[in-house]
Amino acid sequence: MKWFYIGMLLIGLLLLSYVFMSIGRSFRIVGAGHIWDVIVNKNQMMFRNLKYYSVITGACLGVAQFVPEMLQKRIKLTLHLPMAEQRIVLVMLGFGQLLTLSIFLLHVIAVVVFSNFYFPMEILLSALKTLIPWYAAGLLVQSFVAMICIEPTWSRRIANLIMMLGTVQLCYLSSYPGAYGNVLYWLLLLVAFIFPYSFLSLYRFKVGVQD
């Protein structure tokens, strides 16, 4: 988990550096007026290179956290600790989500600081309303990966995978700046709604449900 976290953090920093240098180069070559015209009148998202980084990060950290637990059957030993099973899984899920969220918050802070040098506040806020759903998708993927890994039956795993693809797609319906302004809070609530569903997989695992 540690090395996956460090790896995705470094990849994210390199990706941010590439995006920032590309935007800075565009400003030097064509000027601010042309760039603002492209964003405002042609609905171009200047940070589109960050689009799928979040889901890849969520998937990698989720796999790194839970696949070894299942393959090496450590989850069974963990559930026999003198602590409530729900609390154990809550700590595990919360730890993974906090690590992922720390990377995403770093991205948002970097984008805000960088954008203050090039864009007015209206363009920045519009971009954030598209970026935040992408990062929400990463948190959703991590929750679903945990759910799939803990789930003891393959039929339910496949069903959870299909549900994950359909749910995450909601965060990628549009790449226009500000496209999610009216539903942003609903997407964030969706992240909180999906999070506890891993407890259902935990219960099925505990009682020994089989295909």
Q: What pLDDT, on the 0 to 100 scale, is given for residue 211?
A: 62
pLDDT tens, residue by residue, 22-60: 888 888 887 777 777 777 777 777 888 899 999 999 999
Residue 128 scores a pLDDT above 70: yes
Residue 172 scores a pLDDT above 80: yes
Nearest alpha-carbon partner for 179 in 121, 129, 135, 122: 129
Q: Out of 29-33, 60-64, 181-185, 197-201, which region has the weakest mean confidence (pLDDT)?
A: 29-33
Domain boundaries, the chain: 2-207
pLDDT tens, residue by residue, 50-87: 999 999 999 999 999 888 877 777 676 666 666 676 77
The DSSP code sequence of 25-94 is HHHHHH-HHHHHHHHHHH---TTGGGTTHHHHHHHHHHHHHHHHHHHTTHHHHHTTSSS-HHHHHHHHHH
How big is the chain, counted in residues?
211
pLDDT tens, residue by residue, 89-127: 788 888 989 999 999 999 999 999 988 888 888 888 888
63 near 96, Cβ under 8 Å? no
Residue 15 scores a pLDDT above 90: yes
Nearest alpha-carbon partner for 146 in 209, 78, 210, 195: 195
In the block, which residue shows the tokens 């802070």?
Answer: 109
Q: What pLDDT, on the 0 to 100 scale, is given for residue 38?
A: 77
pLDDT over 90 percentage in the chain: 38
Q: What pLDDT, on the 0 to 100 scale, is given for residue 110?
A: 92
What are the two backbone dihedrals, phi and then psi, of residue 124, each rounded to the nearest 5 degrees?
A: -60, -50
* Residue 199: partners with Cβ closer than 8 Å, 6 or more residues away: 86, 89
Q: What pLDDT, on the 0 to 100 scale, is given for residue 79?
A: 65
Q: What pLDDT, on the 0 to 100 scale, is given for residue 81?
A: 66
